[in-house]
Amino acid sequence: MSKSDLTLRIEHASGAVSELVVPTPVAIDSEAVTLATIRTERALDKVARAIATVFRSSWLDVEAELDRRNDELYVLDANGDAIFGGRLDDWQYEGTLVSVQIDSFERDPRESEPPASFSRTGVSDATIASDLIGLMPAAISEGVVEKTTASIDYEATHTPPAVMLRELTQSTAADIRYHPDGTVDYVERRGTDQTETLTPASGAIIDEPRIRRTMREDTTDVRAVSDSDPTLFEEAEAVATTSDERVVYQVDRIQSTSSSRLQARATRLANEIADAPEYLEVETALNPAAMTSTPTVGDRYSLDLPAYGISTEVRVIEADRVIDEGGDRLDRVLLSNRKLTLRTRN
């Protein structure tokens, strides 16, 4: 894709449509080698964001018509396909340019009126997810919804549906994705099992990796405790132990008094620790041009870092994509063999 083929499309609440060219750095200033034309920030458990650079003169032409709450903004490629879609967050003037900040459509159900109460008992998480999506504003619709847990309870009061959906995944370990067209998926796992290996030798890894790891997980048992009522808790065994080893507990707190949610949370945490007892977290940059696949959040790769003695499987937890004079690349990627127990978040 050519950088000159990018467009910022604004579908105004009034019905009017504005299309602004996202300029190449050369069109701005041939010396502006660090200028990012487009930047998208996506993660498994965060609201996705994007920043698009446009000319100040073009932005001033549409500024008076902007409706931050209701306008829909899309970053389009040469084929008219949306790289990103969402709501206007803010903008910042930078000389002859403007950096336009966009939140994904997840912002709508986070800001919408929360129901006074929501309660489901003994149903699948897919049923709860569908019901929560049904409470979201009209701009959001149900995409793919998968069952990961056969029976679970959920209740909350005065909580926005998008927040409830995220809270549900704390116990089910499901992944959520909001698409540019406003559909939302609740799936067992985002991404694809890729066949290629990420390694500096292939040119895929283009930055010195920053590594955080533990050669042996000390945790043997997990206790999930109700944050609203600490007398309520459930436990699960994290790893097989022998009689001469000491027991090491990890205590996790969630906003729930449901024993089924607490048990599901404890079990999911314990299983994740047992599946990956050697914790690994790697932050680096990737060059998709040197790869046979295009990395997206949730993808699983083999990771080979001989200089650090690392050869294992990881998932893409976060991916920041930049399109600028340096090409189209992922200038910050967080890889890990964990998700729920990721230490960057804890």
pLDDT tier, 4 (very low <50, low <70, confident <90, very high otherwise): low
Give the pLDDT mean for 128-137. 98
Residue 307, burial from CB neighbour count under 10 angstroms (0-12, 13-18, 19+): exposed
Q: What is the pTM of this model?
A: 0.88
Amino acid 99 reads S
**CATH domain 3-104 topology:** Pnp Oxidase; Chain A (2.30.110)
Q: Which long-range contacts (CB under 8 A, 24 or more apart) does 207-210 make?
A: 207/284, 207/285, 207/331, 208/284, 209/282, 209/283, 209/284, 209/305, 209/308, 210/282, 210/283, 210/284
Helix locations, 72-151, DSSP H: 107-111, 125-134
User: What distance in Å separates the CA atoms of residue 299 and residue 337, rounded to the nearest whole number?
Assistant: 11
Q: Are 272 and 339 in contact (CB under 8 A)?
A: yes
- The highest-level CATH class for domain 191-215+278-346 is mainly beta
Question: Does 119 score more than 60 pLDDT?
Answer: yes
The pLDDT tens digits for 165-210 are 999 999 999 999 999 999 999 999 999 999 999 999 999 999 899 9
The pLDDT tens digits for 28-85 are 443 433 345 899 999 999 999 999 999 999 999 999 999 999 999 999 988 899 999 9
Domain range summary for the chain, segments of one domain joined by +: 3-104, 109-187, 191-215+278-346, 217-276
Q: Are 260 and 172 in contact (CB under 8 A)?
A: no
Q: What architecture is domain 109-187?
A: 3-Layer(bab) Sandwich (3.55)
Residue burial 95-105, b: 16+ Cβ < 10 Å; e: rest: eebbbbbbbbb
| pLDDT value of residue 303 | 97
If one compares 32 and 320, the residue with the highest pLDDT of the two is 320
Question: Does 137 score more than 60 pLDDT?
Answer: yes
Average pLDDT, the chain: 89
Amino acid 12 reads H
